Structures are given as C-alpha cells and as structure tokens.
C-alpha cells in the first residue's frame, strides 16, 4: 500500500513556494542564456571570416573595425527579411548601392526592390555573402554595381573581373532564366585611388566576360557620369565617389527602360494620340507591316567599311530575301520586339550589333513622320528615311547633336520629320536636328539598332 507523506505544515508549504519560485527563476535565467547564445551564434554566422584561407575568389576582403560591424549588422538584419524579400529585384553592391537606402529614395515606384549594398565592400566580399544575402530571396532580377573599392585596395582589374565572373556563374547556376543587369563601374578620380584607366580596364573585362550572353544586360553607367577626362563630376559626385540626389535620379532613369523591357514596370500600353490625317505605322501590339529587307548594295558597302574599322565587332547580317513580320511579336532573334505598346530595339548581347527593321510600305510622296523614342545611356540607333539615316541616339552622350536644350535623357522624346521632295526637316522636341537632309526619291521608313536599347512608340505618318 502506497504510503503518503504527512500533511505539510504552513512552514513546509512556504518552503515549497520558495523552491518553486527559485526553479522558475533558474529556468528564466537558462532561457535567457540560451537565447543570448543563439543570438551570438546567429551573429557569428555573419561575421567576416578571420582568414582568407579556403575562401572563394581573389583579392581583398576588408576587415576594418567599422566595416566588420557594418557587415554584421546589415547581414543579420537581412536574414530576418528573407521571407518578406522573396522574388524582389535585388541590388548588389557597395556604398553606392547602400546609398539608395531601403526605400530607394522613392525612385523605383511600386517595383519590389531589395537593397543588398554594404558600404566599403569588395567584389570578393560580395562573392562570399552571395548565398545568404541574395540567392536566399530567390530574386526576380539582380542589378550589380561593384569593383570600385577593390581598386582603392590596390587589387588588379584582372582580380576584380575574376570575382565578377564567379558571381555571374553562381547567379546563372542558381537560375538560368533570371535577368542580370550589370552597371559599369562609375567614374571617380585619381585622388580616390580610382584612376580612369583602371576603371575602364575593369569595365572592359566585365563586358568581355558577359559578351554574347542573352541573360545579361550591360548598362553604360560609366559614360553616363564621366566628364571629358573620364572622371566623376563634382556636381553629381561631391566627394568624387558617391552620387548625390541628382546622380541617383540619373541612375534610376538609366534603369527604367531596362525594367520596362523586362516586363517589371510599364506593363499597360500608353494610348497614342493620332492627329487628324495621320495613321499608325506601328500598331502597338505586333510587328505587322514591318519587315527585314534584302541587304542593299549601299549597306554592303557600309558593312565592308564597318568590318575594316571594327574587325572584332560582329557586322549586321546579310539578308537575301525579304522577311515580313505580320502578326509576330518579335523578330526571330528577339532583337526587335513589341512590348506593351513600344517597339523595342534591345541591347545586343555582343555589345554592338547593327540590324535594321523596315516598313513593308514605301513612301515616294511627301510625308510627315512623328514618333517618340527613349534611350538607355549612350545608346545608338537610327531612323531611316527612304534609306537615308537620321541618327537617333542618346544625343548628349552619343552625339552628333550634343547641344540640344530640350532633350530628356532616359525619358521620352518627340521626333518629327517633314519630307518635301527629296529633303527632310528633322526636329527633336521642336529643336532642329537637320534643316534639309537629302533623301532618295522613294523608299521605306526604317529603324536601326547598334548599341544600347532604343524604344519607339506612337510611330505615325501623314502623306501630303
């Protein structure tokens, strides 16, 4: 028979209460200790490795006290946002990227974006943290700007490009269909240990590394910001390294057309205003009425001249028979594509590739052509009038009309061409480009692609 303990006296009950309270106090202390240990362990996971041994890549990993603290703080914070940041457009970089701030200065609109920039970071540092900081959120797209701090540490362009290639390879292995946008290293100054010749060497190695890869779009952000000497402009980079608000505005404008072409923004076509007497040459939905025409003798001559002056660059292809694109959304190689009301001439993966798209219709009579166009930085295209080219470019950077007062970089610009007989008066936003451009007697209207991205919309014509 089970023997029960004698009933507790008041003093025994008091002792039991004290014991229970002591037990819970010990439990709370243990819980706090375990929580502190877990927190410290989590923080340790985001510490900079104490040695380079066994780490991927080459070159400098910074270990200054301030940088170690920032690295830990930023990465620990991001680890808590992995679920919330799933599928966003991720910006990977250093202090210039960090300078977008968490809200991207309000310049990205409703585009879901995540900032993974750490001030002072190098390409090797970004390579080491790529898995947890970027790939863990399964990004919709990755925008890269990197390499300037490596130069400050004395790393060679070849070391920097080697780390860049490893990052690109890992991104592609993670998702072979994910768009990657590479921004060229911004200009700086020899005063900042970042001379123009080394920056250009890094950018050239970057472009060589991704040449011919359709998954990657390179944006010419070096030309966008460089002065005539190739250095940063104090009015946009007060310390000759970091952009001010004007600089971020220009960077955002440079990326906007790329995001639109990728289908991230501007997915609803703008409605064209077709004036009385005008008709659309581009219906905004597909390439009906457009074609690739057989290569002319004049084009063959120009092609030969191009090959002579640019032996390493791919020429435009020779076309033997006209190919019509009625009902097609894009040309077979995807260079010309109808996207949300815009006829887009995409950035060629080779860096430069000359191609032409023409109307099936010819225009022997007088006519007025009106359209709007938008360029990425330093982009080069052309509008062909009966076979004669009118340069259509990012004029302030690419010329030839560099002194226009009303041109809007990264935004839509209006082009008007008034053809009378065999002469054309050409205007951009009302400013004269050509007062009397000589034209053949007849021929189609065409669009050319060379480098960068050009978009056209509201292409319309009135015959007199």
pLDDT at 28: 54
Whole-number Å distance between alpha carbons of 448 and 27: 74
Is there a contact between 186 and 148 (Cβ–Cβ < 8 Å)? Answer: yes
> Is position 203 within any domain?
yes
> Is position 58 within any domain?
no
pLDDT tens-digit profile, the chain (464 residues) = 444 444 444 444 445 454 545 555 555 565 554 444 444 445 578 999 999 999 999 999 999 999 999 999 999 999 999 999 999 999 999 999 999 999 999 999 999 999 999 999 999 999 999 999 999 999 999 999 999 999 999 999 999 999 999 999 999 999 999 999 999 999 999 999 999 999 999 999 999 999 999 999 999 999 999 999 999 999 999 999 999 999 999 999 999 999 999 999 999 999 999 999 999 999 999 999 999 998 776 667 776 776 777 776 666 677 889 999 999 999 999 999 999 999 999 999 999 998 999 999 999 999 999 999 999 999 999 999 999 999 999 999 999 999 999 999 999 999 999 999 999 999 999 999 999 999 999 999 999 999 999 999 999 999 97
Residues 283, 257 within the same domain: no
Residues 251, 298 within the same domain: no
pLDDT at 392: 97
pLDDT at 41: 45
Q: Which domain holds residue 320?
A: 279-463
> Is position 201 within any domain?
yes
Residues 283, 256 within the same domain: no
pLDDT per residue over 367-420, tens digit each?
999 999 999 999 999 999 999 999 999 999 999 999 999 999 999 999 999 999
pLDDT at 419: 98
Residues 308, 433 within the same domain: yes
pLDDT at 296: 72
3 state SS for the chain = CCCCCCCCCHHHHHHHHHHHHHHHHHHHHHHHHHHHHHHHHHHHCCCCCCCCCCCCCCCCCCCCHHHHHHHHHHHHHHHCCCCCCCCCEEEEECHHHHCCCCCHHHCCCCCCEEEEECCCCCHHHHHHCHHHHCHHHCCCEEEECCCHHHHHCCCCHHHHHHHHHHHHHHHHHHCCCCCEEEECCCCCCHHHCCCHHHHHHHHHHHHHHHCCCCCEEEECHHHHHECCCCCECCCCCCCCCCCCHHHHHHHHHHHHHHHHHCCCCCCCCCCCCCCCCCEECCCCCCCCCEEECCCCHHHHHHHHHHHHHCCCCCCCCCCCCCEECCCCCECCCCCEEEECCEEEECCCCCCCCCEEEEECCCCCCCEEEEEEEEECCCCEEEEEECCEEEEEECHHHHCCCCCCCCCCCCCCEEEEEEEECCEEEEEECCEEEEEEEECCCCCCEEEEEEECCEEEEEEEEEEC
What are the tokens at 17? 């209460």
Residues 75, 193 within the same domain: yes
Among the three residues 231, 261, 291, which one is the final residue of a domain in this structure? 261
pLDDT at 314: 62
> Is position 145 within any domain?
yes
Whole-number Å distance between alpha carbons of 277 and 78: 57
Residues 321, 347 within the same domain: yes
Residues 306, 450 within the same domain: yes
Percent of the chain residues topping a pLDDT of 70: 88
pLDDT at 318: 79
Percent of the chain residues topping a pLDDT of 90: 84
Residues 293, 176 within the same domain: no
Residues 287, 257 within the same domain: no
Residues 95, 165 within the same domain: yes
Among the three residues 203, 230, 261, which one is the final residue of a domain in this structure? 261
pLDDT at 33: 47
Q: How many domains does the chain have?
A: 2
Q: Kindly report the number of other CB atoms within 10 A of residue 158's CB atom.
A: 12
Residues 247, 357 within the same domain: no
Residues 175, 112 within the same domain: yes
pLDDT at 301: 75
> Is position 216 within any domain?
yes
The CATH number given to whatever domain includes residue 369 is 2.60.120.560
> Is position 45 within any domain?
no
pLDDT at 313: 64
Closest CA to 286 of 343, 333, 369: 343
Q: Kindly report the number of other CB atoms within 10 A of residue 378's CB atom.
A: 20
> Is position 340 within any domain?
yes
Among the three residues 233, 261, 289, which one is the final residue of a domain in this structure? 261
pLDDT at 82: 98
pLDDT per residue over 85-124, tens digit each?
999 999 999 999 999 999 999 999 999 999 999 999 999 9
> Is position 102 within any domain?
yes
Is there a contact between 244 and 187 (Cβ–Cβ < 8 Å)? Answer: no
The CATH number given to whatever domain includes residue 239 is 3.40.50.1110
């Amino acid at each position: 028979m089970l023997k029960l303990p004698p009933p507790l006296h008041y003093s025994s009950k008091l002792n039991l209460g004290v014991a229970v309270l002591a037990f819970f106090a010990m439990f709370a202390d243990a819980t706090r200790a375990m929580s502190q240990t877990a927190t410290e362990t989590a923080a340790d996971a985001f510490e900079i490795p104490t040695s380079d041994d066994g780490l991927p890549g080459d070159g400098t990993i910074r270990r200054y006290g301030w940088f170690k603290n920032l690295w830990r703080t930023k990465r620990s914070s991001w680890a808590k946002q992995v679920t919330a940041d799933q599928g966003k457009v991720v910006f990977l970089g250093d202090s210039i990227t960090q300078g977008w701030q968490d809200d991207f200065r309000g310049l990205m609109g409703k585009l879901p974006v995540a900032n993974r920039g750490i001030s002072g970071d190098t390409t090797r540092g970004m390579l080491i943290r790529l898995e947890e900081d970027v790939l863990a959120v399964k990004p919709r797209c990755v925008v890269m700007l990197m390499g300037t701090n490596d130069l400050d540490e004395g790393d060679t362009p070849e070391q920097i490009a080697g780390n860049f290639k490893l990052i690109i390879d890992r991104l592609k292995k993670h998702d072979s269909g994910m768009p990657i946008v590479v921004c060229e290293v911004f200009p700086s100054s020899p005063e900042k240990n970042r001379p123009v010749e080394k920056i250009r060497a890094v950018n050239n190695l970057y472009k060589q590394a991704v040449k011919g890869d359709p998954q990657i779009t390179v944006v010419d952000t070096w030309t966008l910001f460089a002065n005539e000497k190739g250095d940063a402009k104090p009015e946009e980079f007060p310390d000759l390294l970091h952009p001010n608000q004007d600089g971020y505005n220009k960077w955002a404008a440079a990326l906007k057309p790329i995001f639109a072409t990728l289908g991230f923004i501007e997915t609803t076509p703008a409605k064209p205003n077709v004036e009385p007497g005008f008709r659309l040459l581009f219906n905004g939905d597909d390439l009906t009425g457009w074609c690739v025409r057989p290569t002319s003798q004049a084009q063959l001559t120009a092609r030969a001249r191009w090959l002579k002056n640019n032996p390493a660059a791919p020429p435009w292809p020779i076309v033997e028979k006209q190919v019509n694109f009625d009902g097609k959304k894009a040309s077979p190689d995807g260079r010309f594509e109808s996207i949300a009301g815009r006829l887009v001439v995409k950035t060629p993966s080779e860096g430069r590739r000359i191609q032409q798209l023409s109307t099936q219709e010819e225009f022997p009579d007088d006519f007025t052509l009106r359209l709007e166009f938008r360029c990425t930085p330093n982009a080069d295209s052309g509008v062909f009038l009966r076979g004669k080219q009118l340069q259509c470019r990012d004029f302030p950077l690419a010329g030839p009309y560099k002194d226009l007062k009303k041109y809007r970089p990264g935004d839509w610009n209006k082009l008007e061409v008034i053809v009378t007989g065999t002469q054309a008066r050409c205007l951009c936003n009302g400013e004269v480009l050509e007062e009397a451009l000589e034209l053949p007697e007849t021929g189609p209207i065409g669009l050319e692609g060379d480098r960068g991205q050009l978009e056209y919309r509201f292409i319309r014509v009135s015959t007199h």
